Structure formats: C-alpha cells, structure tokens
Amino acid sequence: MKLWYSFIKELKLSSKSWYFYIELGMAIVLLLVLLFVVPENFDTKSKEYIYLDLPQVVRDRFRDNLLEEDLDELSQKVEVEANNTIYAAELYETVESNIYLLDSMEALDAFSNSERVPAVHVRVNEDNQIVQTYYLQGYETQKLKNLLLVFQNSKAGHDVIEDYRDNIVVKSIYQDAEPLSDKENILPVFLTFNGSLMSLFIIAAYIFLDKDEGIIKAYAVTASSVWHYLLSKIGVIIITSIATTLIVTVPIMGLQPNYPVMILFLVTSGFFAASLGLFLTSYYKDIVQAFGALYIVIVILIMPNISYFTPSWDPDWVKIIPSYVMLQSFKEIISVNGNMSYVMLASLGFAVLGMDIFILANYRFKKTLTL
Amino acid sequence: MIKVKNLFHSYSNDEKYAVNDISFQVEKGEIFGFLGPSGAGKSTTQNILVGLLQLQKGEVEVAGYDVKQIKNKMFNKIGMSFEQSNVYNKMSGLENLEFYGKLFDVETRDPMDLIRMVGLDGKEKIKAGEYSKGMKHRLTFARSMINNPEIWFLDEPTTGLDPAIASNIKDIIKEQNEKGVTVFLTTHNMYIADELCDRVAFIVDGKIRLIDSPKQLKLKYGEKLVEVEYYKNGELLKESYSTVVEEEKNKLIEVIGSNDIQTMHTKEATLEEIFIKVTGRGLV
C-alpha cells in the first residue's frame, strides 16, 4: 500500500510539474511535424542533366530507350533554371531518377558550373563512336566513378556485365515484413528517445530536485522503504512515456502497431533507462556535477542513430548499445508482421538488466542519503 | 532508548574521523541535548542514529533496534525534525502531513491537529512552496510528530523562528516530553538546551568532552555569587556577595534586612560560558 500511496503522490506531483507538460507538449509538436511537415516518403530520385550532341537518328534512338524506362512512357516539355537563365528541357521520369535532356552545351555548362550537379555530354567522335563525358564535381568517390563505368559499359552492350547484372536476385531478409514509409521509419527514433531514453534524464531531473529539497531524507526516516520512493518515480515516468508514445503513434500508424507488445516494451525499456538514471544520480549531489556523466551517456546512446539511418555502418559494438536494440524493437513493433520474438527477447533483457541496476541504485541511494 | 558505544565515522574512509570514539546513553523520557559548534559531529551522529548515514564502526541501538541492520519498523517509533525544511513544495501543508501519515504502520495523528498545534491552521490548504521559511520549518516540525514517536530527534528546532513561535515550539517539546517522549535535541543554541534538557553532551571535533545536567554543570563551573541592587540613603547600589564565604553571607543578610532591595540574582554561569570553559572553543 505504501508503494501505491507513493505512486499516487508522485503522479499528483508530476501533474503539477512543468516537466510533465513539456513532455506532452513535445509529443504534440512532434505529431504535428510528422503529420504536416514530413512527407510520407522523401524524394530520393537523383537528377541527371544530359545534352545529346548527336545526329538526329541516334538522338531519336536514345530518346526511345529513355521512353521505355519512363514511368508513363511519355516525356514532358519543361523549363529548368540554372544561373538565373531559363532553359528548355525534356523530362523523363524513371523509377530511380529524373532525367533532363538539355538542348544546348551552354545549358549543360550552366548546370554543371552554377548548380553543381553531375551533367553528361553525349557525342559521337571521329570514329563514329558514342562518347559520354561526365562533368563531376570533384568530390565523387572512386566507387561512384567505377559504378558509372560499369553502368556505361552495360549500356554499351557488354553482354557479360549485362547478363551478370540481370542474374542478380535481390531478396528481402524479412520477406513477411512490409517496409515502412520514410515517415513511419522516423517514428522508432522518437519512440526510443522520448519513450524510453528520456526516462533516464527525466528521473535524474526529478531526483536532483528532490535532493535539493531534502525530500529523500524525509522519506528515509519513515517506515516505508527507499525502493518504494524510487519505484514510484519510475512508475510515473513510464506512465508519461506511454502517454506521449500513444499521442504520436496512434494518429500516424493507426492500428498497425502491436500495441500490447509496444506497451510491454515501453515498460521494460523505460524501467531499464530510469534505473540507469537512478544509478547515475546516486553518485552526484546535483545536476551540475552529474552533467559530465549524463553528456557521455547521451553521446553513446545517440550512436545507434547513425547505424539506423545508414544501415551499411553497423559494427558489432553499436549493437550492444541499448538504444540500438530499442530502435530495432520499435521498428519491429510498428511494422506489419514485425519480428515480435526479437521484441519479447529484448523486453526480457531490459527487464532483467533494469532489475539488476535498480537493486544497485537502491543500495547506492541507501548509502548516500545525506549527499 | 538510545545506546551508543565507541562510535566512529569517517567521510573519507580513513583515520580522519568526523565522529571519534563517542559513547553515551539516553534514558526513556529524557531530553538529551547534543551541543556543539558547526562541524563538531552533531549532525553526523544524529544521521547515524536515524539511519541516514551507514554505521561504520561502533555499536548503536535505537528504540531496541540495532542500527547496523536497520528495519523499517524502527521508524514507527522515531520522529525526525530536520534543520533544513524538507517538505513537498508542490503539495499543501495538509497534503504533506496526510501523505507522510500513510508511510507508517502505526496509528498516526490527525494532520489537522498537528497543523493547529504549530499555528498553521487557516493555511493548511496553501502549497508549502508558498510558505515562509518559518512556516515550512513548523510544518517539518509537525510532520515529525505524525507517528506519535517514542524517540524524537530534533535538529535545531527553533532556528529561524520568531521568539513567540520559538516559545510555542519549546512548549510543544516540553508537553510531548511530559507524555513520555524521549527527545534527542541537536543544537548550538545553549539557551534552548538550558531550558529544555535534562542532560547535555558537549561535542567538539568529533569527541564528547562532557555529559551532565545543566544544573550540575552550573553548580560545578558557575560562580556561587548573589548580585543585589538596593537603595541606601537614596543612592542605588549594586554589590555581589559570595554564598559560600561566611562573612559575605552575613553581609548579604544584613543588606536584605535593612535596605530597599530592587533586584537580586544568583550569578550562575551560562551553558555557553561553561562550554567555552570546558572545551576552549566557542559555539560558532
């Protein structure tokens, strides 16, 4: 019962605190940004500017090839601007890129020099061979240059490369899971940092506030245990994180996520993060002294974000950072046919780790009540 | 009620002891004053007694419980009023007391009775954060009585209070003591100690220099003189007479019998003077 009374008291105190409303407010702001600012999918198509300095016959054949790849098999007459000059162009929209056929070398120079985008000059040399000259910007990697060479050779009809390319089969590892849209893909980052990891910092703020007011000492000389006090704080923080998570997730994802598993994961990961926050705060008198440690923790926890948005960078050491597991778990939770076994295992891991750290934190707090 | 034997405490876990081999006992129903200047080891000792600091070396028993292995049940018998007010600022005075009342396993007092006792009635629904320093102090003091403690630890209970309220607080302490509550009073205010305590301990540099009753201390260290102010032939005279030397005793009787006495005081040493005499240190 004492734990319950402490929890109710903490809930009342939170409802009278700015932190609580800042968290709810931030969740609403993020929801609005996701709803009205972030597009469903980012436009990742590359733009290519090409000038076909070719005889009419060859040019027509080139155009026909482009039309075959065009999404609606129709080109569009458009006007493009470079260096404050408007140029006429034909736009071919393929799956991977928007290709602009320019009508003069002057236009090509303008795009290459002032807009600093890759441009291609296609011409026929004295031996009647097609020569493609790429105007790059100088910062392109050797890998990209090699890829362009491979691409051009395959275009030029080198059968071996073309056959090899055509025989490549791309398979999704999780064939059952449907990919998330770009907007949905941002959500796990928010859920990880606001839903789980903010518990670490918010509890630190609450504890230092109480330390400043001497509240912990007053609690410690009652017949209630210090762990009641600590756990009631964690409980309130988890309730807040569930509320903020639902504020953002429900309008964006509807009924797609597995909500029971999401709440379970928020509870376990929040418990882990808050226990870690408690453990850290037990070493310091105030937030100023703790700032160095908190800063290091923030930097470490941000690392997995790089891996999340750049999957090619995924070293093993990043995978043991808790926020990596949180990001992946939230991604599975909101995905159609996500891997719930992974999430359940992660929940179990966070619950066990959280409990261990909580026991340590409780021990530390009992030892440092006069700090 | 309190037994302390060979208690040591070091904050740096070395030989620099903030509390250095102290022993004392506090009997049931006694008001025991723990007196000393800042940094003498008063708060360290008190914090060990109530479990806020872990016992490192020595034996401590409070209300029959060994402090080495503190049980939550022990706190049902203990009340603690802190020097620094530590109440929930976002809760009203009444809410503060109601909440703390729920944290004990024994029958607790009516929060409104306590509010009235410390003169906060009419302000019980105001947030504690809006209270003055003195009001917060009174709320902290009231909270320490919520569980009807058998042992009451008071850390500078009248600090920062105006004389009228301080007097009210002293009356409450006396009243509770008359009901059988044992009081452990930590202070550097010798006047309140003199007024309230059955026995006092002087602590300096982590060591207890002396334990005795204020009365005994005054008898032992005070000068045995009576100071008299009287009119003789229209002139106001002021003289001191020894109550020990026979000749002066007779003079005193003569002065009292044949003159118009204005004032007459025994000239006792104050506790503060005795403290300085015994320890060679001031109280600041």
- Mean pLDDT, chain B, rounded, equals 89
Q: What region, left, alpha or beta, does residue A138 occupy, with left being phi > 0 and alpha being psi -120 to 50 degrees?
A: left
Asked, for residue A169, whether it belongs to a domain, the answer is no
User: How many domains does one find in chain B?
Assistant: 2
Interface ipTM > 0.95: no
Region B193-202: what's the mean pLDDT?
Answer: 91
Res A263: pLDDT: 94
* Distance in angstroms (rounded) separating the CA atoms of residues B130 and A16: 14
Res A172: pLDDT: 65
Res A205: pLDDT: 85
B48 lies in the same domain as B32: yes
- pLDDT of residue A112 exceeding 70: yes
Asked, for residue B139, whether it belongs to a domain, the answer is yes
* Distance in angstroms (rounded) separating the CA atoms of residues B164 and B226: 30
Write the residue in A16, A215, A221 that is nearest to B50 by C-beta. Answer: A221
Among A87-101, A145-159, A188-202, name the one with the lowest average pLDDT.
A145-159
Tally C-beta pairs within 8 A across A and B: 71
- pLDDT of residue B232 exceeding 90: no
Region A240-254: what's the mean pLDDT?
Answer: 91
Domain boundary among A140, A171, A206: A140
Please name the residue of chain B whose CA is at the shortest distance from the CA of residue A16.
B90
* CB < 8 Å to B53, chain A: 369-370
CA distance A206 to chain B (A): 12
- pLDDT of residue A94 exceeding 60: yes
A71 lies in the same domain as A112: yes
* Distance in angstroms (rounded) separating the CA atoms of residues B172 and B81: 13
Q: Is A15 on the interface with B (CB under 8 A)?
A: no
pLDDT digits (tens, 9 = 90+) for A334-367: 988 888 999 999 999 999 999 999 999 998 888 7
A193 lies in the same domain as A302: yes
Res A371: pLDDT: 57
Write the residue in B52, B85, B106 that is nearest to A220 by C-beta. Answer: B52
| Residue contact B102–A218, C-beta within 8 A | no
User: Which range has highest mean pLDDT (A110-124, A252-266, B261-275)?
Assistant: A252-266
| Residue contact B90–A13, C-beta within 8 A | yes
A26 lies in the same domain as A75: no
- Mean pLDDT, chain A, rounded, equals 86
Q: Tokens 């004492």 appear where? A: A2
| Residue contact A367–B50, C-beta within 8 A | no
Q: How confident is the model at residue B185 (pLDDT cuts 50, 70, 90)?
A: very high
Please name the residue of chain B whose CA is at the shortest distance from the CA of residue A368.
B53
Q: Is A18 on the interface with B (CB under 8 A)?
A: no
Write the residue in B54, B86, B103 that is nearest to A367 by C-beta. Answer: B54
Please name the residue of chain A whose CA is at the shortest distance from the CA of residue B72.
A223
State the number of CA atoms in the 13 A half-sphere of A132 facing the CB.
15
Output DSSP code: residue A179. Answer: P
Q: Is A217 on the interface with B (CB under 8 A)?
A: yes
Query: Which tokens hold the place of B53?
Result: 């600091």
A191 lies in the same domain as A112: no
Handedness of CA A239, A240, A243, A246 (dihedral sign): negative
Asked, for residue B273, whether it belongs to a domain, the answer is no
* CB < 8 Å to B99, chain A: 5, 9
A298 lies in the same domain as A362: yes
Asked, for residue A265, whether it belongs to a domain, the answer is yes
Q: Tokens 């991977």 appear where? A: A96
Query: Which tokens hold the place of A264?
Result: 């379970």
How many CB atoms within 10 Å of residue B2? 20
CA distance B272 to chain A (A): 29
* CB < 8 Å to A1, chain B: 102
CA distance A181 to chain B (A): 44
Q: What CATH number is given to the structural domain containing B186?
A: 3.40.50.300
Q: How confident is the model at residue A174 (pLDDT cuts 50, 70, 90)?
A: low
Asked, for residue B141, whether it belongs to a domain, the answer is yes
Q: What residues have CB less than 8 Å from B167, skipping those under 6 apart?
A: none
- pLDDT of residue A175 exceeding 80: no
Residue B16, Cα to own-chain centre: how many angstroms?
A: 27
Q: How confident is the model at residue A32 (pLDDT cuts 50, 70, 90)?
A: very high
Asked, for residue B162, whether it belongs to a domain, the answer is yes
| Residue contact A222–B75, C-beta within 8 A | yes
| Residue contact B82–A217, C-beta within 8 A | yes
Q: Is A255 on the interface with B (CB under 8 A)?
A: no
B98 - beta bridge partners? none
Asked, for residue B25, whether it belongs to a domain, the answer is yes
Domain span at residue B139 reads: 2-218
* CB < 8 Å to B18, chain A: none
B259 lies in the same domain as B138: no
Asked, for residue A288, whether it belongs to a domain, the answer is yes
| Residue contact A5–B51, C-beta within 8 A | no
A81 lies in the same domain as A206: no
User: How many domains does one find in chain A?
Assistant: 2
Q: How confident is the model at residue B71 (pLDDT cuts 50, 70, 90)?
A: confident
Write the residue in B53, B73, B86 that is nearest to A218 by C-beta. Answer: B86
Q: What residues have CB less than 8 Å from B177, skipping those under 6 apart?
A: B29, B31, B183, B196
**Closest alpha carbon to A178 in A42, A342, A335:** A335
Q: Tokens 């410690």 appear where? A: A220
| Residue contact B86–A217, C-beta within 8 A | yes
Asked, for residue B278, whether it belongs to a domain, the answer is no
Asked, for residue B284, whether it belongs to a domain, the answer is no
Q: Tokens 């008063």 appear where? A: B42
A186 lies in the same domain as A254: yes
**Closest alpha carbon to B100 in B87, B89, B116, B112:** B87
* CB < 8 Å to B54, chain A: 366-367
Domain span at residue A92 reads: 46-140
How many CB atoms within 10 Å of residue B161? 20
Region B146-166: what's the mean pLDDT?
Answer: 89
Q: Is A11 on the interface with B (CB under 8 A)?
A: no
| Residue contact A1–B103, C-beta within 8 A | no
Res A156: pLDDT: 58
A196 lies in the same domain as A335: yes
- pLDDT of residue A165 exceeding 70: no
* CB < 8 Å to B131, chain A: none
DSSP E strands in B163-233: the ranges are 182-187, 199-204, 207-212, 225-232
